[in-house]
Amino acid sequence: MQETKVVTQTRKDTRRLPGSDGLIPVPGREDHFFLKAEVIRLLERVELLSERHPVNVLVVGPQGCGKSTLVRQFAARFNRPLAVFQVGILSEAGQLFGEHRLEEGRTYFNEFLFPKAVRTPRCVIHLEEINRPEHPKALNMLLSLLAEDRSVWIDEIGRVDVAPGVVFFATMNEGEEFVGTEMLDAALRDRFYIVALDYLPPEVETQVLRLKANLGEADALTVVNVANRLRTNRNDPVTVSTRHTLMIAEMVGLGASAKDAFVSGLQVGRDTLETVLLSVHLEGRLPGGEEKDEYHEY
Ligand SMILES: Nc1ncnc2c1ncn2[C@@H]1O[C@H](COP(=O)(O)OP(=O)(O)OP(=O)(O)O)[C@@H](O)[C@H]1O
Ligand SMILES: [Mg+2]
């Protein structure tokens, strides 16, 4: 039986911040990340606008379509520190700022990374899954930072003001499966510029698989074609994210057949795959896209 090792941190060093010098680090660039030209232009304007005042951007799109990567690339491109916070797990207002701790019979307030990030000039603050806090009240204090006054009072640490040049990016999954879960409050949505991302058109996705997973043109085409068939399968559509096609492409790159790679990557039944693969081989080309959006590496 496999043994699970649990590591508990006993030293009180939670106040230490990421980055060896205590500063919030600037992320590295990722190669071969593609965005629509209009999204790239919007992000350039966000950078300019942030010189005047902090800016909020909401990135909406289906699972694994590049939302988090977009935020990271923005930070990398403009040489900004990046701090990421999971809003989806918050259950109380104020939880992002810190917590009371007990040590040797005395309580103290342990300040978290969030207030430090908010006070760091030009920081990119990524709020993940902003539409899904466990408790709606968890967003209250966040709202004050996103609103015009850009400041919030926390009893334990005083006033927290948003530093110049800060950009808040919130991301949320919006797709068929998410209808019915708590959608973003109108008041919150009102405060953001909105970027809608979607899966890449087939020609661009093929290029991504070639560049990122080192696949040959023919294999990349097969993976994209099969993925698109599954996505648009009328009887039983399957969600296949770009993350998934990349995982599958890497398996194919290591010699797996397209069928095996899809079975292990997606848990799609072999029968469905047989049918899809057959129809792909019969046609063997990309479906002709009607609209041609321009995409560039970002
Ligand atoms: N447009 C794209 N160009 C190149 N690679 C992409 C693109 N979109 C996604 N990917 C790749 O797919 C993977 C998943 O992307 P990412 O984590 O940014 O998606 P996400 O939308 O944040 O997912 P989730 O919904 O799970 O939060 C990453 O490896 C990313 O580089
Ligand atoms: Mg993400």
Q: Whose CA is nearest to atom 9 of ligand 1?
A: 66
Is-contact 96 90, C-beta < 8 A? yes
User: What ligand is nearest to the CA atom of residue 204?
Assistant: 1
Task: Report whether residue 243 contacts ligand 1, using a CB cutoff of 6 Å.
Answer: yes
Give the model confidence (pLDDT) of 19-72 as tens digits: 767 799 999 999 999 999 999 999 999 999 999 999 999 999 988 999 999 999
* Type of residue found at 255: G
CA gap 39, 13 in Å, rounded: 40
Q: Ligand 1, residue 200: give the atom nearest the CA.
A: 1
Dist. CA 159–CA 119, nearest whole Å: 10
**pLDDT per residue as tens, the chain (298 positions):** 455 444 433 334 445 567 767 799 999 999 999 999 999 999 999 999 999 999 999 999 988 999 999 999 999 999 999 999 998 878 777 889 999 999 999 999 999 999 999 999 999 999 998 877 777 677 778 888 998 889 999 999 999 999 999 999 999 887 644 443 455 667 777 889 999 999 999 999 999 999 999 999 999 999 999 999 988 888 888 889 999 999 999 999 999 988 889 888 887 778 888 888 887 776 655 555 566 789 999 9
CB 26 within 8 A of CB 80: yes
Give the three-class secondary structure for 38.
helix
Ligand nearest to the CA of 31: 1
Q: Considering the entire predicted model, what is its pTM?
A: 0.86
Q: Is 63 touching ligand 1 by the criterion CB < 6 Å? A: yes
In a 3-state reduction of DSSP, which class is residue 281? helix
202 pocket-lining for ligand 1 (C-beta < 6 Å): no
Among 153, 100, 145, residue whose Cα is nearest residue 123: 145
Domain ranges of the chain: 34-196, 202-282
- The CATH T-level fold of domain 34-196 is Rossmann fold (3.40.50)
Structure confidence by residue, pLDDT tens digits, 73-85: 999 999 999 999 9
